[in-house]
């Protein structure tokens, strides 16, 4: 009953299952239990069989799915079925409700169910379980147990695991990583351990489990490693002492097999008995053990960010003062997220393939880059900054740099430099977020195209609609952004006169926009005069579709289709 210190390994070499079971690794997780196999060897096949045996009646899925396995054809059929895959089993024992996910009840429930699957259910349960059940909230447990017993009574004859499945409450799936992989736990449980476990009655599974399980944890994935955790482990855990682990595991598995070998070849050995449970537990222990260890080792981004986030010396009081706090907050959060996440994930996916259209005249050489991979970023950035209105330079320089580096470098640099760039961005973004302005994200050609399509479809001024339909995926780009961009496009197209000649000249720098885009902008501009219509409103807007481009565009196509269909 005194399980001692929370160490995983007990003195006698066994595993402190309790801890493993009770400790939620990941807060919660589905009780998926899957048995992974990494090798196609017959031994593994046996493993599966064994495991299923161990689960006994609890695991119907395995029994069913791996029927042939259990029927003794393991060696032949197994490898194919199981190789590197996993058996997903809907375990009945996982079916206990939330009530079971707490402390003693849970563990006991498992045990009970386990027994329930065996012939000795009645005896075992009545003798051991009932007595040991002291918690007050065990009504559920009892009822479950009762049900199980009923089921068994009714179906004892056929000994069909599957029969109990339907009667036992909904079940969760448990995953169990039975990899020989080095990634598996650093020797928390060795062969010897397993052996001892099943050899020493004092350390029976049940004992261990019921031993002081009052922590009130929710062992959601207790007994079997949760899928999530495990999968993470698969990747995150690099074999530190992998080599040493391989061996123990193989042996462990072998021993487990051995135990099961004497079981009837019939698919159901109704009596897993304590040994198997113990072994299973041991195996599980190995799996379960992983998460905790791994989790500790990942300082990663967050800390980097925090360290790099030196609360901006000056916060934009302007914004704080003027805008509502709510809005600011949401924006702040959003932006913040964007900086950390979007800049790394979203950009590559969405924008990396496309180049921004704004190309300073300083580098006309690149402007015609069709697909746009302009590569001398520094040049671009500098040129852009220099081009900016003098008064704006002081304020925009950093913005531009920050904004442009991610994208353009994404386009141009290879993965080798990626990390460095990310760091750079991350380092700067916090300041930007809280202190200055929204991340300046250049418009990609695809975005511009979307905008144009949107305008052609909905007309100018329906920015929010366009945003909703065309930019739903890009969290940035508010309707205001769309509007601004459209305005800029008009400027770039020379449609919107800035009034000053200088402006026009500067517009030339934007000309690198694909002609098709500029043309479409012009066309749309004639159709949809920019709000407040400086230009004569062209009254004649065709019936259903506003699109008026001369080239065949998607919207044209749609319009034509529509007209055809209509008539």
Partner DNA sequence: TTTAGGG
Partner DNA sequence: CCCTAAA
List interacting residues with DNA (CB under 7 A): 316, 318-319, 321-323, 437-441, 443, 460-465, 476-477, 479-481, 483-485, 487-488, 530-532
Report, in Å, the least distance between residue 384 CB and DNA: 13
Identity of the residue, 29 or 466, whose beta carbon is nearer to DNA in the bound complex: 466
Alpha helices, H only, 211-241: 227-236
Identity of the residue, 279 or 399, whose beta carbon is nearer to DNA in the bound complex: 399
Report, in Å, the least distance between residue 335 CB and DNA: 7
Identity of the residue, 1 or 321, whose beta carbon is nearer to DNA in the bound complex: 321
Identity of the residue, 174 or 460, whose beta carbon is nearer to DNA in the bound complex: 460
Identity of the residue, 136 or 313, whose beta carbon is nearer to DNA in the bound complex: 313
- Long-range CB contacts (< 8 A, 24+ apart) of 260-268? 260/46, 260/49, 260/50, 260/53, 260/54, 261/46, 263/53, 265/70, 265/71, 265/72, 266/70, 266/71, 267/63, 267/67, 267/70, 267/71, 267/161, 268/56, 268/57, 268/63, 268/70, 268/159, 268/160, 268/161
The DSSP letter of residue 344 is I
C-alpha–C-alpha distance, residues 510 and 533, integer Å: 23
Identity of the residue, 55 or 470, whose beta carbon is nearer to DNA in the bound complex: 470
Which has the closest alpha carbon to 228: 143, 319, 291? Answer: 291
Cα angle: 49, vertex 54, 56; to 5 degrees: 95
Collect all residues with Cβ–Cβ distance below 8 Å to 212 and sequence separation of at least 6. 1, 2, 3, 18
Cβ density class 84-112: b for 16+ within 10 Å, e for less? eebbbbbbbbbbbeebbbbbbbbbbbbbb
Report, in Å, the least distance between residue 370 CB and DNA: 24
Report, in Å, the least distance between residue 450 CB and DNA: 14
Report, in Å, the least distance between residue 509 CB and DNA: 16
Alpha helices, H only, 56-124: 60-65, 67-68, 74-82, 103-117, 121-124
Collect all residues with Cβ–Cβ distance below 8 Å to 516 and sequence separation of at least 6. 551
Alpha helices, H only, 41-182: 42-55, 60-65, 67-68, 74-82, 103-117, 121-124, 130-132, 139-155, 161-167
Report, in Å, the least distance between residue 490 CB and DNA: 10
Identity of the residue, 254 or 464, whose beta carbon is nearer to DNA in the bound complex: 464
Report, in Å, the least distance between residue 367 CB and DNA: 21
Identity of the residue, 24 or 406, whose beta carbon is nearer to DNA in the bound complex: 406
Two structure tokens written together for 394: 């002081």
Identity of the residue, 140 or 487, whose beta carbon is nearer to DNA in the bound complex: 487
Identity of the residue, 439 or 449, whose beta carbon is nearer to DNA in the bound complex: 439
C-alpha–C-alpha distance, residues 319 and 333, integer Å: 15
Report, in Å, the least distance between residue 402 CB and DNA: 11
Report, in Å, the least distance between residue 208 CB and DNA: 55
Report, in Å, the least distance between residue 443 CB and DNA: 7
């Amino acid at each position: 009953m005194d399980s001692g210190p929370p160490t995983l390994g007990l003195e006698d070499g066994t595993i402190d299952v309790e801890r493993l079971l009770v400790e939620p690794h990941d807060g919660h997780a589905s009780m998926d239990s899957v048995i992974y196999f990494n090798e196609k060897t017959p031994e593994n096949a046996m493993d599966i069989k064994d495991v299923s045996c161990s689960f006994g009646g609890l695991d119907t899925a395995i029994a069913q799915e791996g029927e042939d396995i259990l029927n003794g054809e393991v060696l032949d059929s197994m490898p194919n079925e199981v190789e590197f895959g996993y058996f997903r089993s809907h375990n009945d024992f996982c079916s206990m409700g939330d009530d079971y996910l707490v402390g003693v009840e849970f563990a006991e429930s498992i045990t009970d169910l386990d027994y329930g699957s065996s012939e000795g259910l009645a005896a075992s349960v009545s003798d051991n379980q009932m007595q040991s059940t002291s918690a007050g909230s065990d009504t559920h447990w009892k009822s479950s147990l009762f049900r199980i017993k009923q089921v068994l009574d009714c179906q004892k004859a056929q000994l069909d695991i599957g029969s109990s499945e339907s009667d036992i409450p909904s079940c969760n799936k448990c995953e169990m990583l039975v990899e020989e992989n080095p990634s598996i736990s650093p020797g928390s449980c060795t062969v010897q351990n397993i052996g001892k476990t099943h050899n020493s009655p004092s350390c029976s599974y049940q004992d261990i489990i019921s031993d002081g399980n009052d922590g009130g944890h929710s062992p959601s994935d207790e007994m079997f490693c949760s899928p999530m955790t495990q999968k993470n482990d698969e990747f995150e855990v690099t074999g530190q002492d992998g080599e040493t682990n391989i061996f123990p595991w193989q042996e462990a598995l072998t021993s487990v097999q051995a135990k099961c070998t004497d079981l009837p070849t019939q698919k159901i050995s109704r009596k897993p008995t304590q040994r198997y449970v113990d072994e299973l537990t041991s195996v599980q222990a190995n799996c379960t053990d992983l998460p905790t260890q791994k989790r500790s080792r990942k300082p990663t981004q967050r800390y980097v960010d925090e360290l790099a986030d030196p609360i901006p010396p000056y916060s934009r009081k302007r914004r704080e003062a003027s805008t509502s706090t709510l809005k600011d907050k949401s924006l702040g959060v959003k932006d913040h997220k964007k900086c950390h996440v979007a800049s790394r994930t979203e950009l590559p996916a969405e924008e990396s393939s496309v180049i921004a259209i704004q190309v300073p005249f300083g580098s006309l050489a690149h402007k015609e880059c069709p697909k746009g991979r302009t590569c001398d970023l520094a040049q671009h950035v500098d040129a852009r900054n220099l081009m900016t209105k003098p008064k704006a330079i002081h304020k925009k320089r950093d913005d531009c740099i920050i904004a442009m580096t991610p994208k353009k470098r994404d386009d141009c640099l290879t993965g080798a430099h990626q990390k460095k760039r990310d760091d750079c961005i991350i380092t700067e973004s916090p300041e930007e977020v809280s202190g200055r302005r929204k991340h300046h994200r250049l418009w990609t050609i695809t975005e511009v195209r979307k905008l144009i399509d949107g305008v052609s479809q909905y007309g100018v001024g329906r920015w929010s609609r366009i945003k909703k339909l065309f930019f739903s995926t890009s969290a940035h780009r508010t309707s205001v952004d769309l509007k601004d961009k459209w305005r800029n496009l008009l400027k770039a197209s020379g449609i919107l006169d800035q009034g000053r000649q200088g402006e026009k000249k500067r517009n030339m720098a934007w000309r690198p926009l694909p002609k098709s885009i500029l043309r479409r902008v012009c066309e749309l501009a004639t159709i949809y005069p920019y709000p407040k219509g400086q230009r004569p409103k062209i009254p004649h807007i065709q019936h259903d579709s506003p699109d008026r481009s001369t080239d065949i565009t998607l919207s044209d196509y749609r319009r034509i289709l529509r007209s055809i269909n209509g008539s």
